[in-house]
Amino acid sequence: MTKNKTLRNALESGKLFTAMAAHNPLAAKLAEEAGFGGIWGSGFELSASYAVPDANILSMGTHLEMMRAIASVVSIPLIADIDTGFGNAVNVHYVVPQYEAAGASAIVMEDKTFPKDTSLRTDGRQELVRTEEFQGKIAAACAARRDSDFVVVARVEALIAGLGQAEAIRRGLAYAEAGADAILIHSKQKTPDEILDFVTAWPAKVPLVLVPTAYPQLSEADIERLRKVGIVIYGNHAIRAAVGAMRKVFRQIRAEGGIRAVDPLLPSVKDIIELQGDASMRAVESNFLR
């Protein structure tokens, strides 16, 4: 079964699909190893790994090449975060087949203006495009995909922009009507109440996607009980785990003036060599090196 079909079937099954953020192929391999259903090709994480803000500063090419590198080392579906689609519907029509060819099984596109500002920052600049314009961008994404199992997710930023539930529902329905396979509804409230109100009011069959970063109290079991959510995305836990782990180890080495105490606490060099795909290289060597 193709990765696209795996994701499409998961979305149609009614069971909750889990996707973990990754900013490089190694993080994606670790997410697969841990048992996540798919990878979230996060713009926030990739921006952070370049130490720049998540505000369309990195080019489409930089993100696309990372998606290609990630897709080539995992066997689970990759959901690519294409931010606002890098322009208007014409840009989206060009971009979607590029992501499909790079091995992504889905794109998520948000209804903000280009260049965007990151969603979870307090007082970020959150401007939305007209509903009709974004419907055109979603329709362009659907028309441009080559495989009908490639999933197009429309992301509603109305709650992030403080426009309220009625506007969020109105936009979600308009994007579903334009052909979106799922609707991502995002919130930066510190409790799940705002999202739970949206989910309760959501009147359509089109599944929802949640990113519970700001309201971590909501577990997968809680989300499953809502019966309207197809995908949960863990948006930035790979980069935050990496930052926390590196900071701690770097400080310990400085404090102790060496690596003696820290060494046994770290994954072994052998572990890293295995993650590099050493076994398959050795197989190639023994077959072809003459």
The residues annotated with a catalytic role in the active site are: 54
Which tokens belong to 188?
Answer: 């930066």
Instruction: Tell the residue number behind the tokens 């935050």, with chain if given.
Output: 240
Say if residues 83 and 94 touch (Cβ distance below 8 Å): no
Closer by beta carbon to Mg ion, 71 or else 149: 71
Say if residues 187 and 195 touch (Cβ distance below 8 Å): yes
Q: How far is CA 164 from the centre of its chain?
A: 24
Residues 28-67: x/- map of binding to Mg ion (CB under 5 A)? ---------------xx-----------------------
The full DSSP string for 10-37 is HHHH-SPEEEEEESSHHHHHHHHHHT-S
Assess 42 for contact with ligand SPV (CB under 6 A).
Answer: yes
How many DSSP H helices and E strands does the chain contain? 12, 8
Q: How far is the CB of 4 from Mg ion (least distance, A)?
A: 21
194-253 binders of ligand SPV (CB under 6 A)? 211, 213, 235-236
Query: Which range of residues in 84-92, 115-123, 131-139, 142-150 is near ligand SPV by CB under 6 A?
Result: 115-123
Q: Which of 36, 44, 175, 202 touches ligand SPV by CB under 6 A?
A: 44
Other C-beta atoms lying within 10 Å of the C-beta of residue 69: 15
Query: Which range of residues in 6-14, 117-125, 146-154, 281-289 is near ligand SPV by CB under 6 A?
Result: 117-125
User: How far apart are the C-alpha atoms of 41 and 93, rounded to whole Å?
Assistant: 19
Which tokens belong to 122?
Answer: 């307090």
Closer by beta carbon to ligand SPV, 3 or else 186: 186
Largest CA distance in the chain: 68
Assess 81 for contact with Mg ion (CB under 5 A).
Answer: yes
Assess 106 for contact with ligand SPV (CB under 6 A).
Answer: no
Assess 105 for contact with ligand SPV (CB under 6 A).
Answer: no
Site of interaction with ligand SPV (CB under 6 A)? 21, 42-45, 54, 81, 118-120, 211, 213, 235-236
